[in-house]
Chains A and B, each alone.
Chain A
Amino acid sequence: MAEIKAVEVSQKKKSRLNNTATLFIILVAMFGIFSYVGRPFFFSRLNIIPMLNNLSFIGIIAAVLTMVMVSGEIDFSVGGNVGLTACLVALLLDKGLPGWLVVIIALAGGLVMGAFNGMLVTVIGVNSIMATIGTMFIWRGIGYTLSNGESMLAINPVIDFIGRGFIFKVIPFPIVLLVLIFVLTYVIMSHSKWGRRVYAIGANPLASYLSGINVKKVKFIGFLLCGMTAALGGLILTSLSAVGMPQHGQGLELVIVSSIILGGTALGGGKGQILGTLAGVLILSILYNFLTIMNVYYFYIQIVQGSVLILVVSTYEIRQAMARRRT
């Protein structure tokens, strides 16, 4: 009679922990090397603070996009969303609206964009990669239309604070937001009922549906949150640069998706860790920052970004194939 082969119970868990741990070791090593090679500028307050600020808006979006990706979907429109939000904010400020209202409108706009994506995917059934590549162009197009293709100054006390403010005079506000959102998403994904549903849907949407889980609702809310967070990212970027322009967030999707996959999230869903995403974001942001301060031409960085995406996904696929062969 076929009996179960005794398989080491927690082996799976351990190896996953190791993955994230490995990433953090790589991160530390990279940081050390870059500090040495890029001395003295790389490891100076002049570079570290802007780098962290930049990283914060990427990380915030990546954390929430991880939830969407674990559920088996993807959102490529986050970059376009950032661009549109930036223009919207600048335009509304220009019209003289108070800062707090602009923030609310911007976040609401993000929700609308997320809802649109979510509707395309869950109600109409469009493949999310295709749908969000389409909406990516729409959001950016609207951004161009709003701004007429120009950059607009976006200065207002409230907006300024979002990207450039400090808490207790030392901690940059974007970093506070970053930590807050990572803690929140970590609790949701690892410990909440909602997170469990997200993982289950990613692991097998049909089985989840046939277990009474409202798959469409969970996915839709994922897109909703992702849209809103991307808008928050747009607010931070606008604040950091003090301008709103439609080019904001161009190519962002490449960096974010690469970071998430590097962090161990499977493209097909079901697997992924918020901490892994954090490590992925840190590694890639530091890498790109290093390349930038070493005066590498922007378009060559683009080559690196594309290669990293393919490399990261390849590594994942090859590891999967090897695991399959073992069994």
Chain B
Amino acid sequence: MASSIYYKGGDILSDNNGVVLRMENITKTFPGVVALDNVSIDLNKGEVLGILGENGAGKSTLIKILAGNYIKDSGNIFVDGHKFEIKGPAEAVASGIRVIYQELNTINNLTVAENIFIGEQIVKGPFKVVDWKTMTKRSFELLDILNVKLDPNAILGDLTVSEKQIVEIAKAISKEAKILVMDEPTAALSEEETQSLFKIIRTLKSKGVSVIYISHRLKEIFEITDRVTVLRDGKKVGSIKTVDTDENKLVEMMVGRDIKDMYPKREVKIGDVVMEVKNLKADGFNDISFKLRKGEILGIFGLLGSGRTSLVKALFGANRIKAGEISVNSKKVNLKSPGIAKDEKIGLVPLDRKTEGLALMMGVKENITLANIGDLGKSFLISKVQERKKAGKWVEEIGIRTPGVDQEVNSLSGGNQQKVVLAKWLESGSQIIILNEPTRGIDVGAKIEIYKLMQDLCERGSSIIMISSELLEIMSIADRIIVMSKGRFTDEYARKEASEEKLLHSACL
């Protein structure tokens, strides 16, 4: 692999004083996949370290180990030079490690102030009485530092996604933090909010706080980090000072191969309109119209909370449509349930395959035939012969690596699990396949296969709607990109016109 030539010489320590955190040879395996393979990172005092990697590179696993959320299989962690065994979240918190997770971790029934001080309420007096007044005051100050006007007494359930994310950030900086980890903190933030976040990061940095900043938005990495560590497929590719590198180099490190090989795009002949959506409205979005053509890959891009997942669900009959209409092959359809969507030859590869896509404790064959149980034999009984034949066919055709069709899907790797979900819809004969973040949590090899598979499908006359927050991916694979913000479509770009700046700008409109 080309990139490993460059930075093989281990870490280049920045010239700051002192290593605050050293994670050494960390390894973590899950059933069927090595999530982290001998990964080492160093973090200096007052440094912002970017951790960069594609979906499934191991970033989240690494910080979950640091936060005491996962237990590592092997390796050592040193904080301030002392070996540190993290047994649980409480110890990580106690030693000054603060994490802002990618998934929102707020409690909707409680107030902003309480969410900020979860687990560490301010108490006073000999009886350790919870000091609401001080908590409210401190929250107000924190929110003020973050330059947002939020009432500390507001109930969290009433806030928007980006406001909730700000509360998360306030929570992380509420107490003296030694190491602050931010896992995609800007996923739901507007440009302006991102800038105030950066201002805070700079302030914290000047106070000697070390920050680990995880993002796959390269623009942000260059703006805020001092040094970047790149992970790929659970391995460390290398570390490099941000000033010494450029976007192309980083992308190469991340992808590990030529960008053209990573995103193999074929030109497919685009045909007639197969799906038309007119003024669609449902919970989470409003007034959405678009056309999908035969053989086309339509990309939908948007920030967290932009309504993209609600839209996907509505297109699959899993979110009740309030107004507007959907036609498939020029015929108006009433998508009341996924069952009806399935009959209209629509398939959905959902956001979270483990909770939405697969019955994990069942086998490959049961999962592949899940949407078509009725077709397994003529009588009310299941023909096990037919079942094996059907499942076996897809295992072969799309290259699902499994010891057999009886294998429990739980033990397959992410990429192969995703292929099982896809096979389910292929078995169902779906002509319109909706993929929500199709490459989340799968390794590079499987990713490329998924991209190829998507295009194979298009060549065979299917159409694809792909939702992705990975800019590189969506700009390379989609023929056309529609940007969503606050439940509306804001802009539309052809593949050739799209750029990171344009997409992010449109996503904040």
**Physical contact A–B (CB less than 8 Å):** yes
**Chain A contacts to B: CB under 8 angstroms:** 1-7, 9-10, 12-13, 187, 191-194, 196-197, 199-200, 203-204, 206-214, 270-271, 327
7 contacts between A and B (CB under 8 A): A2-B443, A4-B412, A4-B416, A5-B32, A13-B406, A270-B361, A271-B361
* Residue of B233, B382, B428 touching A191 (CB-CB under 8 A): B382
Binary contact track B308-351/A, C-beta < 8 Å → 1, others 0: 00000000101000000000000000000111011100001010
Q: Are A212 and B32 in contact (CB under 8 A)?
A: no
* Cβ contacts under 8 Å, B424 to chain A: 211
Q: Which residues on the B side are within 8 Å of A203 (C-beta)?
A: 359-362
User: Which residues of A are found within 8 Å of B371, using beta-carbon distances?
Assistant: 211-213
Identify the interface centre among B371, B373, B377, B444: most chain A CB within 10 Å of its CB.
B373
* Further contacts, 18 of them, CB under 8 A, given A13-B406, A203-B359: A2-B234, A4-B401, A4-B411, A9-B406, A191-B382, A192-B382, A193-B380, A199-B366, A200-B366, A200-B370, A204-B359, A210-B350, A211-B338, A211-B424, A212-B339, A212-B342, A212-B343, A213-B373
| CB within 8 Å for A213 and B359 given contacts A194-B380, A197-B373 | no
Alpha-carbon gap, A115 to B348, bound state (A) = 32
Task: Report the nearest B residue to A11, measured CB to CB.
Answer: B408
Give Cα A13–Cα B361 distance, bound, in whole angstroms.
12
- Whether A207 and B357, one on each chain, are in contact in the complex, defined by CB atoms closer than 8 angstroms, is yes
Enumerate the 3 nearest inter-chain pairs by beta-carbon distance, A residue then B residue, closest first.
A203-B359, A212-B342, A212-B339
Contacts of B380 in A (CB 8 A): 192-194
> How many chain B residues touch A (Cβ–Cβ < 8 Å)?
52
Look across to chain B and name the residue whose beta carbon is closest to the beta carbon of A214.
B339
- B403 contacts chain A at the CB level, 8 A cutoff: yes
Residue of A nearest to B425 (CB): A211
B34 interfacial by beta-carbon distance below 8 Å: yes
Residues of chain B within 8 A (CB-CB) of A192 are 380-382
**How far, in Å, is B396 (CB) from chain A's closest CB?**
16
Say which residue of B361, B370, B377, B403 sits within 8 Å of A211 (CB atoms). Answer: B370
* Distance, CA A13 to CA B377, complexed state (A): 23
A-chain residues with CB within 8 Å of residue B403 when the two chains form the complex:
4, 6-7, 9
- Name B410's closest neighbour in chain A (CB-CB): A327
B126 located at the interface, meaning its Cβ lies under 8 Å from any Cβ of chain A in the complex: no
Q: Smallest Cβ distance from A303 to chain B, in angstroms?
A: 34
Instruction: Answer whether A193 and B382 are a contact pair too, CB < 8 Å, given A4-B402, A5-B31, A214-B337.
Output: yes
Q: Is the Cβ of A210 less than 8 Å from the Cβ of B339?
A: no
Is B337 in contact with A2, judged by CB distance below 8 angstroms?
A: no
Task: Write out the residue numbers on chain A whose beta carbons fall within 8 Å of the beta carbon of B443.
Answer: 1-2
Residue B286 CB within 8 A of the other chain: no
Which listed residue, A199, A209, A213, A214, touches B362 by the CB 8 Å rule? A199
Q: How far is the CA of A187 from the CA of B342 in the complex (A)?
A: 28
Is B271 in the interface zone, CB < 8 Å from A?
A: no
B374 near A: Cβ within 8 Å?
A: yes
Chain B's closest residue to A200 (CB) is B359
- The CA of A4 and the CA of B402, in the complex, are separated in Å by 7
What's the least CB distance linking B147 to chain A, in Å? 39
Residue in contact with A212 in the complex, picked from B341, B366, B411, B412, CB distance below 8 Å: B341
Q: Residues of A contacting B343 with CB < 8 Å? A: 212
Q: Which residue of B lies closest to A193 (CB)?
A: B373
Q: Are B355 and A207 in contact (CB under 8 A)?
A: yes
Q: In the complex, are the beta carbons of A193 and B318 less than 8 A apart?
A: no
Q: Let me know if B9 is at the binding interface, CB within 8 A.
A: no
- CB pair A210–B407 under 8 Å, yes or no, is no
Q: Which residues of B contact A211 (CB under 8 A)?
A: 338, 342, 370-371, 424
A134 to B339, CA, bound (A): 33
What is the minimal beta-carbon distance from B443 to any residue of chain A, in angstroms? Answer: 5
A2: nearest chain-B partner, CB-CB: B33
Contacts A2-B32, A4-B416, A214-B337 known; A208 to B359 CB distance under 8 Å? yes
Q: Nearest residue in A to B376 (C-beta to C-beta)?
A: A193
Chain A residues with CB under 8 A of B407: 7, 9
Q: Which residue of B has the minimal Cβ distance to A326? A: B31
Which residues of chain B (362-401) have a CB below 8 Å from chain A? 362, 366, 370-371, 373-374, 376-377, 380-382, 401
CA distance A7 to B404 in the complex (A): 10
Q: CB-CB < 8 A to A6: which residues of B? A: 403
Complex CA distance for A45 and B232, rounded to whole angstroms: 72
- Contact among B357, B402, B412 with A210 in the assembled complex (CB-CB below 8 Å): B357
B316 CB to closest chain A CB, in angstroms?
Answer: 7
Expressed in whole angstroms, the Cα–Cα distance for A197 and B342 within the complex equals 16
Q: Do A204 and B355 touch across chains, with their CB atoms under 8 A apart?
A: yes
